[in-house]
Amino acid sequence: MTSILIIEDEEIIRKQLTRLLERNNFTVSSVATIESAAEVDPDSHDVILADIRLPGAPGTAILQQVQHAPVIIMTSHASVRSAVDSMRLGAVDYISKPFDHDELLLVIQRSLRENRLSAQNAAMRVDLHRLAPGIDMQTRTPVLTEITDQLENLDPQVQFIYLEGERGSSREVLARFIHGSSSRVNGPLVIADLPLYEPSELDRLLFGSGSAETSAANEHPFGVLRAAHTGTLVLRGVVELPLDIQQRICDWVDNSNTGVARNAGRNLDVRLIALDVIGIEQALNENRLSPSFAELFSDHAFRIPPLRERTEDIRELAQQFLAQFLRRYRKRSITLSPQALNALHAYHWPGNANELKSVIERAVLSVDADKIEPVHLGLSIVEGEVANIPLDLSLDGYFRYFVLNHQNDLSETELARKLGISRKALWERRQKMDLPRN
């Protein structure tokens, strides 16, 4: 049962409140002073009702003794000043005497609901860290550090950020990093997968149904823009937005250029992070972004290099993912052999960091020894060759090494298959690198 602590010096009121709450299935403890409250472990209760005027310390003093229990302040007269002061000190609500019984029960239920939601959010964050630890670590790799330093030091007033990069290149990880390292960290983080929706559905996704009759059946009755108020909205595949909807978002931007959007006269404080595989300039050339919409993001656009262009990050990411999955699956200490690291550096990673993460997870689940070897990685490279591949080879260096060492034994089709590319791509790279077949 829900337990409530009453701190009230008037015995008659204390007894009346106790009877009322017990009739409504609450467990009640009651004391007359703040000093007495310390003896009944106030933070162990689900709600605390405290009169603001008490002998000795005022009712607001209980706020210094609790960390989790929500405190509702009771005041004997409708004093706006005392209510504001109580809320500033940390009270979740207040109620004026004499109060209606139904009103008091509503205030208690609202406080319980809000406290339960806060506890659920805290638990979800802990669970998220357990399931996907190291989001911050993944952004602190040698190449990404320069980008993350810029993102971390963005002015809080910056509302529009564009992250360009291939799928799996850590764009969303960086978007979560931006949210988590900003003053908006306690606000909502909403992610909208725009390519999953038909063009006719995108307006409702962003702005809501606009109709009370349809809101019950609508997945986003108020729209994701409003859902992200005071927080961050991440738009995946932003070039999928029709141009008229892009213009509607532009119309929401306050004329003062503060980045605050307006919805029917109501200010919406939302930071927009756009993710896409193409950059702003290309999207403009292809008429997939309107000039006014693109301008919102143009000052803070960042290109996230694919993993094949930042091979310095491979070892660091692989070790991070390995530690993560060893914890998740409660495996004994397992390391990556030098040959496995060679293989990771030699591979071209079409799926980028996401593919590397999947490869390491599969290896952790399949290995029976204390070292992960190339065979556990399942990469499309020639077995037996990775042990001799230098660790410092670039992608082009590995291509040259592989082609020169195997073109006498493999056909072009077989070479392309082993490299994980098409025959056309193999031919084009041969021409580019001046590697004609003998």
Q: What is the DSSP secondary-structure string of 263-290?
A: ETTEEE--EEEEEESS-HHHHHHTT-S-
Same domain, 154 and 301: yes
**Position 388 in a domain:** yes
Range of the domain at 73: 3-123
Surface-to-core class of residue 363, CB atoms within 10 Å of its CB (0-12 exposed, 13-18 middle, 19+ buried): buried
pLDDT, residue 140, reads: 74
pLDDT single digits (tens) 184-194: 988 899 999 99
Residue 363, phi then psi, degrees to nearest 5: -65, -40
**Position 413 in a domain:** yes
- When pLDDT is averaged across residues 106-133 and rounded to a whole number, the result is 78
To which residue do tokens 């000052």 refer?
299
- When pLDDT is averaged across residues 128-139 and rounded to a whole number, the result is 60
- Residue that finishes a domain, picked among 251, 271, 305: 305
Same domain, 231 and 176: yes
Residue type at position 128: L
Q: Which residues touch 118 (CB under 8 Å, ≥6 apart)?
A: none
Same domain, 293 and 385: no
Same domain, 222 and 100: no
pLDDT, residue 384, reads: 45
Strands, sheet with 232-236, edge to edge from the N-terminal-most edge strand = 189-193, 232-236, 271-276, 160-164, 301-303
Alpha carbons 238 and 202: distance in angstroms, whole number: 11
pLDDT, residue 213, reads: 44
Residue 351 and residue 320 in contact, taking contact as beta carbons nearer than 8 Å: no
Token pair of 309, please? 């262009």
**Position 167 in a domain:** yes
Residue 287 and residue 148 in contact, taking contact as beta carbons nearer than 8 Å: no
Q: Which residues touch 309 (CB under 8 Å, ≥6 apart)?
A: 395
9-23, 300-314, 395-409, range with the lowest pLDDT? 395-409
Quote the percentage of the chain above a pLDDT of 90.
Answer: 47
pLDDT, residue 258, reads: 47
Nearest to 241, CA basis, from 301, 303, 292, 181: 292
**Position 437 in a domain:** no
Q: How does residue 215 score in pLDDT terms, banded at 50, 70 and 90?
A: very low
Same domain, 101 and 159: no
pLDDT above 60 (res 123): yes
pLDDT above 80 (res 392): no
Plot region of 350 (φ>0 → left; ψ -120 to 50 → alpha; else → beta): alpha
**Position 128 in a domain:** no
**Position 332 in a domain:** yes
Q: How does residue 263 score in pLDDT terms, banded at 50, 70 and 90?
A: very low
3-state helix, strand, coil in the chain (%, to 5): 50, 15, 35
Question: Higher confidence at residue 383 or residue 302?
Answer: 302
Alpha carbons 293 and 271: distance in angstroms, whole number: 14
Alpha carbons 159 and 161: distance in angstroms, whole number: 7
Token pair of 53, please? 């005027």
pLDDT, residue 254, reads: 53
Determine the 3-state secondary structure of 70 from DSSP.
Answer: coil
CATH number at residue 61: 3.40.50.2300
What's the structural domain count of the chain?
A: 3
CATH number at residue 329: 1.10.8.60
pLDDT, residue 219, reads: 55
Same domain, 241 and 388: no
Same domain, 175 and 216: yes
Nearest to 144, CA basis, from 391, 325, 314, 390: 314
Residue 141, phi then psi, degrees to nearest 5: -85, 165
Same domain, 258 and 242: yes
pLDDT above 70 (res 398): no
- Residue that finishes a domain, picked among 80, 96, 123: 123
- Residue that finishes a domain, picked among 123, 150, 174: 123
Residue 233 and residue 188 in contact, taking contact as beta carbons nearer than 8 Å: no
Token pair of 268, please? 């919406």
Question: Higher confidence at residue 261 or residue 371?
Answer: 371
- When pLDDT is averaged across residues 310-330 and rounded to a whole number, the result is 90
pLDDT, residue 411, reads: 87
Q: How does residue 287 score in pLDDT terms, banded at 50, 70 and 90?
A: very high
Same domain, 262 and 139: yes
Question: Higher confidence at residue 197 or residue 417?
Answer: 197
- When pLDDT is averaged across residues 207-236 and rounded to a whole number, the result is 73
Same domain, 147 and 252: yes
**Position 267 in a domain:** yes
31-35, 329-333, 395-399, range with the lowest pLDDT? 395-399
Residue 72, phi then psi, degrees to nearest 5: -110, 125
pLDDT above 60 (res 388): no
pLDDT, residue 414, reads: 83
pLDDT above 50 (res 257): no
C-alpha angle with apex 185: 182 to 187, nearest 5 degrees? 125
CATH number at residue 222: 3.40.50.300
**Position 160 in a domain:** yes
Token pair of 358, please? 């999947």
Question: Higher confidence at residue 410 or residue 134?
Answer: 410
55-64, 90-99, 217-226, range with the lowest pLDDT? 217-226
Taking the mean position of all CA atoms in its chain, how far away is CA 402?
Answer: 40
Q: Is beta strand 271-276 parallel, antiparallel or unpaired with respect to 266-268?
A: unpaired
To which residue do tokens 């606009």 refer?
210
Same domain, 428 and 386: yes
Question: Higher confidence at residue 255 or residue 122?
Answer: 122
pLDDT above 90 (res 283): yes
pTM value is 0.66
Same domain, 235 and 315: no
